[in-house]
Copies of this chain bind each other. A is one copy, B any other.
Amino acid sequence: MRSLPDPTNGEPTRKRRMPRADRERQMMAVAEQVFAERGYVAASMDEIADRVGVSKPMLYEYFGSKEGLLVACIRLARAELLQVTSDACVRPDTPEQMLRQGLIAYFRFITEHQKSWALLRSEAAVVGPSAAGEIEAVRQQQTDLISSTMALYAPAPLDTAPVAEVIVGGCERLALWCERNQDVTPEQAAELVMQLIWFGIAAVVPDTPSPGRG
């Protein structure tokens, strides 16, 4: 098994036993790593437990199932994402700047969590209803944020939901593309989306006249 030759060696204050909340955080961190490395299917609960330095039933004690562990990881990342994006949206006062700042925050978050985030997002769909629902909630969270921001400025009858869906989807793909082309900064990515989307939105919102091309 794992080698624990000297209990007092290495980090001195390293406790073998630790409170549940701490252990849970540690488990989620390791799980995120392992899921990212191996992929969800290939990742084994034994390996995760092993790397944490704990036995498998502890994982099940705290997270119920492999899917539950994945869901917990996603939920954590989701909270962080909401934090940074909604924070970025409150400071500016024009809708254009709100969207731009939100996009920059989004692409920055993706860039920082590159390895794990893309995997987590991809993997979830495969697992089952609960994990799929969780990853869908991440998008729902983003679309809601965009949709509600737009609703502040768009006329009432404009259905903002599908528009937000297109934006979120476009950003996801672009983020994956940016991973392959690492020289693209979050700011550049955000600017591209602004170029593409914003003036499209401007054409939809009656305030700003459409270019009337045909």
A residues in contact (CB < 8 Å) with B: 39-42, 96, 122-123, 125-128, 132, 139, 161-163, 165-174, 176-177, 181, 184, 189, 192-193, 195-204, 208-211, 213
Contact = CB atoms under 8 A, between A and B. Distances in A.
Contacts of A211: 199, 202-203, 208-211
B41 A128 contact: yes
Task: Count copies of this chain in the complex.
Answer: 2
**Chain A binding surface, main DSSP class:** helix
A68 to B, nearest CB: 14
Contacts of A128: 39, 41-42
A128 B56 CA distance: 24
B196 A177 contact: no
A174 B159 CA distance: 13
A9 to B, nearest CB: 38
Nearest to A199: B203
Contacts of A173: 139, 165-166, 168-170, 172
